[in-house]
């Protein structure tokens, strides 16, 4: 006998067991009911209004998902910004950079008027020379108070002064440079457009006012002299000015005093003082300031005691304690004075020598 839900003659052969099994694949969940376009009125609504049994529901509003909406808004903002920037700041080619001037240099050897004074103690020589109150090393190259200019900020002026000081320190005080062992330390500080001139100066030195290594840096002939004291005395000044709207200029004027002795000699060897006055002119455009590089445009050098008869183009060949020059020169020149340079070969004034 069949169950309450079975047909009178029972479940047909081959049919699924149970009538409800035919509809198990159809699921009327809540979302399906809500999505239906036709909705049946309630019995009370049909009695009151004689309305049809069903009514048509308004279509569901399927808006964009939140992620899609955000993406559309971002694209719109980016597109609008691109249009605004194109109108507000149209692309312009950068202004052509001014050509970098080649370095102009003058190296003036100063010949002693007699024998070069010497002493076993370099401190004694310093104490009895015009360098007695000079500072030691980079302390003798203080940065001045920096003030902004019409077209350059305080920080840019400081950057120019700092780059000039770094060049002076590396080219005048570094033992490896002074000893003629390394020029790369100075080379990397120069504007890239001056590197060819720099390299040619060291590969083929010529006393032509353009290609003298001693115009770029201070270095001694190591077959003749070496430092007797690495505490080099320094005094001088730095000054920055605005050349034009795109260029800063720095002028440096410093006197360096080195205690030297014969190469390979012991500590008891007599030392002597060697004086170098360097006046350097630097230029900095905005690219140089950004890269911390310098354009060295002018180099005036006075150095002695030297013999005017010897070539000081590639290395400085100092006269040491007790030595005399082979040839003299014009009237005495004092590298401690602040006057201009007057000769291509001068005499070292007696007042510039230690009193021993």
pLDDT at residue number 9: 55
Take residue 20 and report the two structure tokens written for it.
């409800």
According to DSSP, the residues that pair with 236 across neighbouring strands are 254
pLDDT at residue number 25: 54
Tell me how far CA of residue 235 lies from CA of 213, 254, 346, in angstroms. 23, 6, 22
Collapsing DSSP to helix, strand or coil, 39 comes out as: strand
Could you list the pLDDT tens digit for every one of the 356 residues in the chain? 455 555 555 555 555 555 455 555 555 556 555 655 555 656 666 666 555 555 555 555 555 577 777 888 888 888 777 776 655 544 444 456 788 999 999 999 999 989 999 999 999 999 999 999 999 999 999 999 988 999 999 999 999 999 999 999 999 999 999 998 899 999 999 999 999 999 999 999 999 999 999 999 999 999 999 999 999 999 999 999 999 999 999 999 999 999 999 999 987 899 999 999 999 999 999 999 999 999 999 999 999 999 988 889 999 999 999 999 975 444 556 677 665 554 578 889 888 999 88
pTM for this entry: 0.71
pLDDT at residue number 328: 47
pLDDT at residue number 313: 92
pLDDT at residue number 166: 97
pLDDT at residue number 339: 56
Number of residues that this document lists for the chain: 356
pLDDT at residue number 233: 98
Distance CA(136)–CA(233), nearest Å, equals 5
pLDDT at residue number 70: 83
pLDDT at residue number 329: 47
pLDDT at residue number 48: 61
pLDDT at residue number 92: 41
Distance CA(345)–CA(313), nearest Å, equals 13
DSSP 102: P
**Residues 326 and 309: beta-carbon distance below 8 Å:** yes
pLDDT at residue number 1: 47
pLDDT at residue number 94: 44
Burial letters 136-172, b for 16+ CB under 10 A, else e: eeeebbeeeebeebeebeeebbbbbbbbbbbbbbbbb
pLDDT at residue number 45: 62
pLDDT at residue number 68: 76
pLDDT at residue number 344: 77
């Amino acid at each position: 006998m069949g169950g309450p839900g079975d047909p009178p003659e029972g479940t047909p052969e081959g049919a699924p067991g149970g009538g409800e099994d035919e509809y198990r694949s159809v699921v009327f969940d809540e979302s399906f009911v809500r999505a239906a376009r036709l909705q049946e009125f309630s019995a009370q609504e049909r009695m009151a209004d004689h309305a049809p049994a069903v009514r048509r529901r308004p279509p569901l509003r399927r808006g964009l998902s939140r992620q899609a909406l955000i993406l559309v808004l971002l694209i719109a903002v980016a597109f609008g910004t691109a249009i605004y920037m194109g109108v507000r700041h149209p692309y312009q080619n950068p202004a052509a950079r001014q050509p970098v001037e080649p370095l102009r240099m003058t190296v003036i050897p100063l010949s002693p008027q007699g024998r070069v004074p010497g002493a076993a103690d370099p401190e004694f020589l310093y104490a009895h020379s015009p360098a007695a109150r000079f500072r030691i090393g980079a302390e003798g190259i203080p940065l001045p108070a920096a003030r902004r200019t019409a077209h350059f900020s305080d920080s840019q002026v400081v950057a120019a002064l700092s780059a000039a000081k770094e060049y002076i320190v590396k080219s005048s005080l570094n033992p490896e440079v002074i000893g003629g062992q390394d020029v790369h330390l100075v080379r990397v500080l120069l504007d890239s457009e001056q590197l060819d001139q720099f390299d040619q100066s060291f590969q083929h030195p010529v006393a032509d006012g353009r290609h003298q290594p001693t115009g770029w840096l201070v270095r001694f002939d190591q077959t003749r002299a070496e430092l007797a004291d690495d505490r080099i005395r320094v005094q001088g000044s730095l000054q920055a000015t605005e050349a034009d709207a795109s260029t800063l200029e720095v002028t440096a004027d410093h006197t360096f005093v080195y205690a030297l002795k014969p190469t390979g000699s012991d500590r008891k060897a007599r030392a002597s003082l060697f004086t170098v006055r360097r006046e350097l002119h630097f230029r900095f455009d905005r690219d140089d300031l950004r890269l911390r590089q310098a354009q060295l445009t002018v180099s005036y050098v006075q150095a002695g005691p030297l013999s005017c008869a010897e070539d000081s183009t590639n290395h400085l060949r100092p006269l040491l304690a007790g030595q005399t020059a082979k040839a003299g020169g014009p009237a005495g020149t004092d590298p401690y004075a602040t006057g201009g340079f007057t000769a291509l070969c001068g005499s070292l004034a007696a007042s510039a020598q230690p009193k021993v």
